[in-house]
Structure 1
Amino acid sequence: MDHSTHQHHSGTAHQHRPSAPASWAAAAKATLHCLTGCAVGEILGMVIGTALAWGNVSTMVLAIALAFVFGYSFTLLGVRRAGLDLRTAVKVALAADTVSIAVMELVDNGIIALVPGAMDAHLADRLFWTSLLGGFAVAFLLTTPVNKWMISRGKGHAVAHTYH
């Protein structure tokens, strides 16, 4: 019995794959995919928290939570369309995106926290948007090598690509 075929069809998200070099283009594409979900969630969280005049910590917690929700949901929808059951799709999304989203959120929220006045800026303030978008740009640059390393080891977005 061919166990590699059996593992693939069993839907397990924790398959052992041989290491293979990942291209920078593949890593950038995976990072852009992750950034899209993170940006949607984070911007929504920042807008909601700022519009409701929540404190900085509450707003950032909401933004980070929504970044994970949207980041996972983009992968979840893709692998569900590929035919995976919900339970397996959730496992794949968690395996594919957790590290990438975590690094991205750490970097971009760290930048927002470090830019003087950014945490107190309002939606109409240029500083709000430039620090947010600048944080995303730096997060993209720092997360891409992480994704390249993970994909080369059969982890991260390599898990999701098994089902596409």
Structure 2
Amino acid sequence: MTWGAAAKATLHCLTGCAIGEILGMVIGTALLWGNAPTMALAIVLAFVFGYSFTLFAIRKAGLDFRSAVKVALAADTVSIAVMELVDNGIIALVPGAMDAHLSDALFWTALLGGFAVAFVITTPVNKWMIGRGKGHAVVHAYH
């Protein structure tokens, strides 16, 4: 499997994760929630959006809902988990990032920087998994 295919799979995952992560961080920050509930919401939404992108594409290809859920879970779980671990780890480690407000450059810099680092770390994970017939490799039969 090529690095290009792994990068494409990671970008697919990153798109769903980013939508959920940003939405969760924006909601939690806007509602003045604490760090833990904001991060928990962001992670849950990242998984929801990450899985939904794959789920909708597989359903469109004609797979029944139950089977599509199984394929989406097999295709995306490790990728999303690694991405969320890295991204949220970066955000948690940047001093002041979790206490920054939506209008602060630090909020957006830490969030987007976390995505960039997560992409770089998750791409080799996806390459390894696809090369072994796992991860996004299970989706290719439906494209």
TM-score, normalising length: structure 2: 1.00
Q: Does 1:36 align with 2:15?
A: yes
Identical columns (%) = 84
Deviation at 1:42, TM superposition (A): 0.3
| Equivalence map 1:119-138=2 (5 Å) | 119-138=98-117
Deviation at 1:33, TM superposition (A): 0.1
Question: Which structure dedicates a bigger proportion of its chain to helix?
Answer: 2
| Equivalence map 1:72-83=2 (5 Å) | 72-83=51-62
Question: Aligned AA for 2:32?
Answer: A
Question: Alpha-carbon deviations, 1:13-49, whole Å to 9, x = none?
Answer: xxxxxxxxx1000000000000000000000000000
The alignment covers a number of residue pairs equal to 143
| Equivalence map 1:67-146=2 (5 Å) | 67-146=46-125
Deviation at 1:159, TM superposition (A): 0.5
Deviation at 1:141, TM superposition (A): 0.1
Question: Aligned AA for 1:84?
Answer: L
Deviation at 1:91, TM superposition (A): 0.2
Question: Aligned AA for 1:138?
Answer: V
Question: Alpha-carbon deviations, 1:32-79, whole Å to 9, x = none?
Answer: 000000000000000000000000000000000000000000000000
Task: Give the structure 1 partner of residue 128 of structure 2.
Answer: 149
Larger gyration radius, structure 1 or structure 2: 1
Distance 1:156 1:87 in 2: 18
TM-score, normalising length: structure 1: 0.87
Root-mean-square deviation (CA, aligned residues, Å) is 0.3
Moved over 2 A (4+): none
Gaps of at least 5 residues in structure 1 are 1-21
